[in-house]
Amino acid sequence: MSLSTAITIAQSAFNTTAAQTAIVSKNIANAGNADYSRRMALLGTTPYGAQVVSIYRAQNEALLKQSIASIGQASGQGRLLSGLELLKSSLGGNDYETSPAKFLAAFRDSLQTFASTPGNPSMAASAVSDAGDLANSISTTARAVQSLRADADKEIAIEVEKLNSLLADFEKANNAVKSATAQGLDASEALDQRDKILKQVSEIIGISTVTRANNDTVIYTADGTVLFETMPRAVTFAPKAAYDATITGNKIYVDGVPVAAGSGANTTAEGKLAGLLQLRDDVAPTFQSQLDEIARGLVTLFQEGNPSGVPPIPYAPGLFTWAGGTVPPAGTFVPGLAATLAVNPLAKANPMLLRDGGFNGVVSNPGGAATPDAGYTALLEGFIDAMGEDMAFDPATGLDGSSSILDFATSSVGWLEQLRSTASTASDNKFALLARTQEALSKETGVSIDEELSLLLDLEQSYKASAKLVSTVDAMMAALLEAVR
């Protein structure tokens, strides 16, 4: 071997070691980056020793796809659960202290106390006050439900805008991957960026991917609609300015195809959008219908009238009234009734009307309006009994179509709690699956500091060997020059 060949071999070794060291250094610098995949130098033999011929990027397509799917499932479940937690907090938290069921029971107890001392004006005022608290609880909760829907609608608009932006970024990253792959260049940076965007997209909407020639990737939604192919598909949504129980939210469209909402407590939603649609268009409206039925039941139970009298007096709201000013038909909820439920102002002015009647000209106390019987309890006892008797409710509320108003209000709380509890368990399971999947993916593609430091020690030995070769050639050259002199 000539001295010039030895120098060339040493130079090649230095270049190879430098390239490998740079890769290891980059790996170590990104050890904490979850969106970075480990790089490894692939060596090839040449007449002058080993050289870096390509850079291998650690990857596992199966685990990556599973991770993306798990992100979507956990995101959808988490968003549903957070909405249910907000509904729970609007009812007073863990013990549901401000729920209509609690105030309804308190009002019933107040009526019983008043019935035991029907001549006591302070007991009458207390019963009317409790009725006001009950009506306020129902109307306040109804407004909280519509606020939840409005907030979900606003969040949908934000997420749709974010999704369109991510798809535009994905197009750039995908083009960079295709270009680098076609030219035989290192596409690792672009692939990292593309995978990162895919994870962010899956948080918003459930997706699946297909890889084609030159590493080109096509994105489909969970229900099979094309979201990206060569270029992004348009994701559109028109938000509503405000919400009440009579308003239906607009759909989200991907390339003209509506996005399906999730269903069930262990929701089918993949991504935030499906979870938000489920909250806005299913969970909240169902709970709203239950509140509307409780409110309708109160108006019905405390109605006043005498249709068979002479002259006939049609039934009209008594103690409880609402914006419609009528007694709605039995067994059919009236959207938005709960939001306007209130205690009749006449009861606030004269609480004894609760005992005697007279809200609509029908006086029930035998003593008459001018000299009422102070011991009269028939009307109060009738109200108390009616609150425990079965009445017709709309089955569209998701609850029993025939039950007492007390049981119906309690069942409404139970419905929400069961939904929330199941959603919480499902959320724990889905996030645990996501954590395990990401851990498995990290083991395959992530950076191990121990491995990289061990590789650095090997590279150090390689450098020393190359340096030894150079020093030997230098000594030989020095000896040759000395001999020539």
Report the alpha-carbon distance of residue 266 to residue 284 in Å, rounded.
16
Q: Is the dihedral of CA 178, 181, 185, 188 positive or negative?
A: positive
* Tens digit of each residue's pLDDT (9 = 90 or more) over 205-220: 999 999 999 999 999 9
pLDDT of residue 459: 67
Report the alpha-carbon distance of residue 108 to residue 301 in Å, rounded.
12
Cβ contacts of residue 225 below 8 Å, gap of 6+? Answer: 233, 254, 255, 257
Report the alpha-carbon distance of residue 341 to residue 19 in Å, rounded.
75
Report the alpha-carbon distance of residue 418 to residue 414 in Å, rounded.
6
Task: Look up residue 291 and give its two tokens.
Answer: 């509140």
φ, ψ of residue 362 in degrees (nearest 5): -105, 100
User: What is residue 241's three-state secondary structure?
Assistant: coil
User: What is residue 421's three-state secondary structure?
Assistant: helix
Start-to-end CA span in the chain (Å): 24
Burial label for 303, CB within 10 Å (0-12, 13-18, 19+), is buried
* Tens digit of each residue's pLDDT (9 = 90 or more) over 92-131: 888 899 999 999 999 999 999 999 999 999 999 999 999 9
* Tens digit of each residue's pLDDT (9 = 90 or more) over 67-96: 999 999 999 999 999 999 999 999 988 889
Report the alpha-carbon distance of residue 426 to residue 77 in Å, rounded.
7
- State the DSSP H helix or E strand holding residue 40, giving kind and residue range, or none if neither: strand 39-46
Q: Is the pLDDT of residue 203 over 70?
A: yes
pTM of the model: 0.90
Report the alpha-carbon distance of residue 333 to residue 288 in Å, rounded.
10
Cβ contacts of residue 311 below 8 Å, gap of 6+? Answer: none
